[in-house]
Each structure stands twice: as structure tokens, then as C-alpha cells.
Amino acid sequence: MKPNYHITFIFVVFINVVHSNWIPRKENEGNVNICDKLDEYVNSPYSEEQFLKYSDVKACYELTSYNKTKAIQVIETVKEYLKGFYALLDQAKEESNPGFDLRPIDLISELDLVVKNNYSYEYQFIYDVANLIEELRDGHTRLRSDDYYKYLFDQGLSMYSVIKKDGTQQIKVFNDIKEPSNVDCQVIDIDGKPAIDAIIEFARDHTFYSRDLSARFNSALASLVFGNGDFYIAGQLFTYRNQLPKNPSISYTLNCNGKFSKITREWQVSIKSVQYKSPYISGTSVGNATLIFDAFIARFYILQDFGVVLISTEDIINNSLDLEYHFLSNIVAGFKLFADKGIKKIILDLSNNGGGYIFIGHYINKLLFPNIQNFPLDYKVNDISIPFIKEISRIKKGIGNIFHYKSFTSVKTKSSFDSVNDLIGNDIYTRGGVQVRYTSKAFHNDTTNYIGTFKLPKPPKFPWTEKDIVILTNGLCQSTCAIITQRLAEINVPTIAVGGFPNTRFSFAQYAVGEASSSADIQPLLELKNINSSLVSKLSLPSNLTLYFTLAEAYSIKNPNEVMDYAYRPADYQLYYDERSARDPSHLWLQAAKYFRK
Ligand SMILES: *[C@@H]1O[C@H](CO)[C@@H](O)[C@H](O)[C@H]1NC(C)=O
Ligand SMILES: *[C@@H]1O[C@H](CO)[C@@H](O)[C@H](O)[C@H]1NC(C)=O
Ligand SMILES: *[C@@H]1O[C@H](CO)[C@@H](O)[C@H](O)[C@H]1NC(C)=O
Ligand SMILES: *[C@@H]1O[C@H](CO)[C@@H](O)[C@H](O)[C@H]1NC(C)=O
Ligand SMILES: *[C@@H]1O[C@H](CO)[C@@H](O)[C@H](O)[C@H]1NC(C)=O
Ligand SMILES: *[C@@H]1O[C@H](CO)[C@@H](O)[C@H](O)[C@H]1NC(C)=O
Ligand SMILES: CC(=O)N[C@H]1CO[C@H](CO)[C@@H](O)[C@@H]1O
């Protein structure tokens, strides 16, 4: 059995290779199955086509009719996974902090209502289920179908938001592949609605990378992300979507220096994935900042007299423990270089960081604050989860897996659990009005969880305290990124969030969890010896459907009963994008440097 390496990350829209020509492809001819034809276009290296048409993809999706029998099976299986493993299922029924834009959801009952609807096509049903689950606004929890999330629908256009001197907020064109002269024109209306309202509505109802609306608003718009050794345009979910959009196009009214125009953009699917390299900064130079160390997944800059560290989500792409080790050694080396150069203040810019291995977050926290205790966790104990806990705990190689009692240190005793029953424990909490059983609270034992063939570097003692670091994000710092930033915020490292709405402080991070998992992670465990056949059939989803979920919840250290996922933690300070700072983060770094604690 392969141990589980505790990866948690949120999908960051992160795209490859630029195509500047938007050549529409020829009309579809004949009666060949349209889905096969699309596959052929995508897979043929000689294809002249660069884009799939919206209407062809729609026709492909509409080849499969809705089958209520199959739909009921899907709903029943999804319910079993959620009841067995989804740590936040019952808390989701409660009213949450008013800082979040979130309604209480009794997901199990609402899933039962979905099958009462009539659908013509299977994809409509799948989207409804997926959208309902996304209303949890839990980035770790979503349903994906290989068939109906196969394509990314793009308009070649991205937008951003600036706050003018008089305090008003505007939507502007950030980048436009088709018509570069539109860049920085103000977007007045979108499909006849004021642009700002259209973006807010979309962010509120159709994005789920934060429970906080300001951060969701940022995700609907474009911003820069550092990754893969360069800067790219991230987010832009309004114009870059993974579900088949309802209409074939969107129209925009633009104001370009007083000249008004209306443009209409069709949705297209780029065959070669598109990488929106930032056209504004590229390579290693960022404004007046000097790059002193490039660790590929991290960069160390000096600007004026302070340091800036960027850390990306790279590990996900390569997914190799040896590389992780290499990256971590480089991160240690970068900080050491700062210390050697006498850098006294450091900005951690973790904008658009979707997370990575949990132990890396833990390691970075301990690197900067050697005595820090990372967030503890627990997960659900019930008829569905117990067989996995017991079975995996019997397997020596299972150490490191979330279901193995030896993967943890007990919060109560501060040492390893003596037996599987010690981990299972007797903890019962009232959540959403019902009694729910969880394991004993535990810390990840990062030594056991990191089964590498090498020793992690023992870092030197660094000179910085919480007064010498500030955290800067655009609100989209998720999962392992939140394990770093929300933990450091609890020891009073100041936090700054960029963007959102005027004078509205908002969350700098979200989804610090104990572990995220999925039906695909559970599938191989169904083959273990003592997992009985009724459990296997309960948990068997069609292989083209994957349910992702938060498996273990994390708890605050400061307020030990507070579940981090539902802890509303607004940033201490807010900054805004303007035409320059949206394209050159060094302008934000200069502003952020004012917030080091005195
Ligand atoms: C619907 O799905 C069920 C279960 O997979 C199958 O037995 C049945 O034939 C399908 N019905 C239709 C009309 O395709
Ligand atoms: C679904 O379709 C059936 C049969 O066509 C109809 O009787 C029923 O009212 C419809 N239900 C809904 C919720 O539209
Ligand atoms: C999954 O695959 C089956 C078999 O190829 C297909 O009939 C079904 O439509 C697919 N369902 C989804 C939700 O992708
Ligand atoms: C770099 O510094 C110079 C001199 O202080 C200043 O004029 C210029 O605007 C700065 N450039 C950026 C991108 O901040
Ligand atoms: C963590 O695991 C290692 C390796 O199994 C073990 O030696 C160590 O005692 C554990 N630490 C704690 C605090 O339980
Ligand atoms: C399988 O496990 C379930 C729940 O623990 C139990 O109710 C059922 O009797 C078991 N079935 C078999 C065949 O052992
Ligand atoms: C740091 C590193 O090795 N990155 C590699 C990750 O994988 C991609 C795709 O194979 C390579 O292009 C990168 O160089």
C-alpha cells in the first residue's frame, strides 16, 4: 500500500503556452460522433485547429442523456463518502461568521432534492451536484467528472479591479490576447449589467476558493502568480471557466479614453493549453527589487533595506519527494543568505499560493519559529471510517497514512498513541445540532509523515521575530499556504490582503486543514483484506467521477476549540491594486513594508 503524503492544495488556474492567433475552426461535417472528433482535434499533433467551438463541445456533452437510475447511484455514493469522511459536514449546517459569505447547508438533504429535478442531459445533473457541493465554499471539497470538466472555456480577455482616488471601484481590462488595444479600458457593462455587479454576482454564486466574498471577487479577476520560475496571470475565473457556460458568448461595453465600444466574445476552448505569461513582468526582474537567490519554487529579493520571499505551489506539478527536499534545502539557503546579508525585515508574498505538502508548511513554520506548535487535527469516527483506521493501522508500511495511529502524536499526552483505539478515542462534539464523533486530537508527526530517503536540513537559528515579518497575500493563500500564514498570524505576524472591496478588510488565507483526500485516494484502500463488500459497494463511484473532500479538520492553537476552516481571520491591513501595482508587485511590497510591527 502506498502511504499517503498529505498533499493539500487547491487547484490554481495555471495555464501553459501562448497562442496569439484565434483562428476559428472549420464547421463540423458528417455524422462522426462529435466527442470523438473533438478528441481527434485535441490529440492530433498535425491538427490545424487551435480552438474547439463552444457549439461542438455543447453537442458532445449533449450526447449523453440523463439517466435517473445512474443519477441516484451517484448521489447515494457521494452521500456515503460525505457521511463517512467529510469532517465539516455537520458544521456546514451552522450559521457561520458574518465575515463569510456563506449559507448554512444540510448537504445530505439537499443532495436528495437534486434527484427530484428533471434533466435532459447527464452533464446538467453533474453540474447541479457539483455546484451544490461548491456552495460549501470549501476549496478542498468538490465533485469532478472527467467527461464534463474536460475543457477550459476561455475568452482571451481578463479583467482586474482598481480603486480610484475618490474611492470608487472600477473594473478594467487587464489583458486581451485578441485585441491588445483594449488593455486598461474601463469595463462599464457586462451583458447589459454594470460590470462590478456582474463580477460580484459571479464571484458570489459561481466561485468557491474562499468563504470570504472579497477573496472570491479577487479569484474572478486576474492577478499575477509566481510559479514555474516566472510570473503568470492567475484567477480570471470570470473569463476562464471549467463548466460549459450557459450562453455561447458575453458582451462587454468598454470605455477607452472616453470612446465607448461594445465587444462580444465567444467562448472558445484552446486545444493547446494556454499559458498567460505576464506580459508586464517576466524573468526575474521585478521593479527595483534585486533578486539575490532563485530557488525555483521560491525567490528571494532585496528591495530598499528589506527582503521579499515568494513561494510558489510548484511541488504539485512535479510531485517528487526528492525535489521537495531539494526545494526545502534551497528555501533554507535563501533565508540564510538574507541573514548573512543582515536583512532585518522580510515580506512573505504568498499571493495565489494554492498549497502543497502539509509537512512543508509545518517545516517552514518551524524554520522561522523553531518552538512553534503546528495546528492539531482530528477526523470523523464512524462505521465507514473505522474499518480503514483499523485495517491500515495493522500495516507497518501504512505509517504516514492519515488512517494509521502511528502517524501522529497525541495532543493530550504529547507522545505517540499506544494503540489504534487511543487514536479512535471517545471525542464527541455537537456540530450543526447533532453529536458527531471524532478521533482524539493529534499532531501530524512530521518525521513519520515524511518518508524520504534523506534527512531534512537542520536550519540555523535565524534572527527574525514576529516583529520582523509581514505576510502579504491577495486573499488566495490556501491549504498548506494557510497552514503557514494563519499559524504565523496567531503568533502576531501582521497580515495584509490586497484587493477586494474598498475599506473592507478580508481574509488573507483559507482552508488550513489536517488533510484533504478524495474518492480516488480511498479507491485503492477498498482492496484491503478486511474491508467488507458492503462497504466496497457503498464507496464505489464510477471511475470518471472524483469526489474531493476535507478529511481532517485543523484546530487553532490560540482558540483550541475553533476549527480553522470556519475561523474568520481578516487581514490586519488592506492594500489595493492600481494600474501599476497589479502588474508589478514591487509597488505592493513598498506599501507592505510600512506594516512591520514596531
Ligand atoms: C440507466 O442506467 C442503468 C444503470 O446503469 C441502466 O441499467 C439502464 O439501462 C440505463 N437506462 C437507459 C435508458 O439508458
Ligand atoms: C418532471 O417530469 C415529470 C414527467 O414529465 C413531471 O410529471 C414532473 O412534474 C417534473 N418535475 C419537475 C420538478 O419539473
Ligand atoms: C462515465 O463514464 C461512463 C462510461 O464511459 C459514461 O456512460 C458516463 O456518461 C460517464 N459519466 C460521467 C458523469 O462522466
Ligand atoms: C525605481 O527607482 C527609481 C529611483 O528611485 C524610481 O524613479 C522608479 O520609479 C522606480 N521604479 C519602480 C518600478 O518602482
Ligand atoms: C515520530 O515518529 C518517529 C518515527 O516513527 C518516532 O521516532 C518519534 O518518536 C515520533 N515522535 C513523536 C513525538 O511521537
Ligand atoms: C460489513 O460491515 C457492515 C458495517 O460495519 C456490517 O453491517 C455488515 O454486516 C458487514 N457485512 C459483512 C458481509 O460482513
Ligand atoms: C524544478 C523542476 O524540476 N521543474 C520541472 C517540473 O516538471 C516540468 C515538466 O516536466 C519541467 O518543465 C520543470 O523543469
Report how far ligand 6's centroid is from the alpha carbon of 534 (Å).
6
Confirm or reject: Cβ of 145 under 6 Å from ligand 3.
Answer: yes
Residue type, 22: W
| Beta strand pairing call for 355-357 and 7-9 | antiparallel
- Nearest protein Cα to ligand 3, atom 2: 544
Helices 122-134 and 107-114, packing angle to 10 deg: 160
**Residue 23 clears pLDDT 50, i.e. is over it:** no
The whole-number average pLDDT for the span 397-423 is: 95
What radius of gyration do the chain's Cα atoms show?
A: 24
Strand partners, 193: 190
What is the spatial distance between Cα 204 and Cα 208, in angstroms, rounded to a whole number? 8
pLDDT above 50 (res 26): no
Ligand with the closest atom to the CA of 74 = 3
pLDDT tens for each residue of 131-175: 999 999 999 999 999 999 999 999 999 999 999 989 999 999 999
CA-CA distance, 582 to 578, in Å (whole number)?
Answer: 6
- Please identify, by atom number, the ligand 5 atom nearest to the C-alpha of residue 399: 5
Query: What count of Cα atoms within 13 Å lies in the side-chain half-sphere of residue 416?
Result: 13
Average confidence (pLDDT) over 330-336: 94
Q: How far apart are CA 311 and CA 309, in angstroms?
A: 6
Q: Going by CA atoms, what residue is nearest to atom 14 of ligand 4?
A: 287
- How many of the other CB atoms lie within 10 Å of CB of 61? 22
Do the beta carbons of residue 169 and residue 501 sit within 8 Å?
A: yes
pTM of this prediction? 0.93
**Annotated domain spans of the chain:** 152-270, 290-373+451-509+569-595, 377-443+514-554
E strands of 212-312, at which residues?
Answer: 222-227, 230-235, 240-241, 249-256, 259-266, 268-270, 290-294, 298-303, 306-311
Who wins on pLDDT, 143 or 451? 143
Instruction: Say how many CA atoms lie within 13 Å of 401 toward its Cβ.
Output: 22
Confidence of residue 105 (pLDDT cuts 50, 70, 90): very high
C-alpha–C-alpha distance, residues 495 and 571, integer Å: 5
* Position 407, amino acid: S
Ligand 7 centre distance from Cα of residue 318 (Å): 6
Q: Is 257 in the pocket of ligand 2 (CB under 6 A)?
A: no
| Domain 152-270 architecture | Roll (2.30)
Please state, in angstroms and rounded to a whole number, the distance separating the CA atoms of residues 399 and 351. 33
Cα–Cα distances (Å) from 127 to 141, 206, 242, 391, 506, in that order, read: 14, 11, 11, 35, 29
- Residue nearest (by alpha carbon) to ligand 5 atom 9: 416
Nearest CA residue ID for atom 4, ligand 6: 383
Rounded CA-CA distance 121/67 in Å is 8
* pLDDT value at residue 28: 45
Pocket of ligand 1 (CB under 6 A): 67, 69-70
Provide mean pLDDT across the span 204-230: 95
Neighbour-count burial of 60, counting CB atoms closer than 10 A to its CB (0-12 exposed, 13-18 middle, 19+ buried) = buried
**Cα distance between residue 9 and residue 515, in whole Å:** 10
Alpha helices by DSSP H, listed for 369-455, are 386-393, 420-424, 446-449
Closest CA to 483 of 552, 546, 409: 552
Of residues 436 and 399, more confidently modeled: 436
**All three cell numbers of 128:** 447541479
Q: What is the mean pLDDT of residues 535-543?
A: 96
Distance from residue 415's CA to the centre of ligand 2 (Å):
59
Segment holding 188, helix H or strand E: strand 186-190
Q: Is the CB of 383 within 6 Å of ligand 6? A: yes
Return the DSSP state at 465.
Answer: -
Do residues 411 and 419 make contact, with C-beta atoms less than 8 angstroms apart? no
569, 505 in Cβ contact below 8 A? no
**Lowest mean pLDDT, pick from 26-30, 218-222, 308-312, 444-448:** 26-30
Helix, strand, coil content of the chain in percent (nearest 5): 30, 25, 45
What's the pLDDT at 5? 43
Q: Which atom of ligand 5 is nearest to the CA of 446?
A: 1
φ, ψ of residue 303 to 5 degrees: the values are -130, 130
Compute the distance between CA of residue 438 and CA of residue 441 in angstroms, rounded to an integer: 8
Q: Is 191 left (phi over 0), alpha (psi -120 to 50) or beta?
A: left
Q: Specify whether the CB–CB gap between 291 and 299 falls below 8 A.
A: yes
Residue 317 confidence class, pLDDT cut points 50, 70, 90: low
Q: Which fold has domain 290-373+451-509+569-595?
A: 2-enoyl-CoA Hydratase; Chain A, domain 1 (3.90.226)
Pairing type for strands 495-498 and 469-473 reads parallel
Residue written as cell 462534539? 429
Q: Within a 10 A sphere around the Cβ of 40, how many other Cβ atoms?
A: 12
Of residues 459 and 35, more confidence is placed in 35
Q: Please name the residue that has the C-alpha cell 465507514.
A: 384
Q: Which residue type, as a one-letter code, is found at position 187?
A: V
Digit-coded pLDDT (tens) for 546-557: 999 999 999 999
| C-beta separation of 142 from 223 below 8 A | no
Q: Give me the pLDDT at residue 47, please.
A: 67
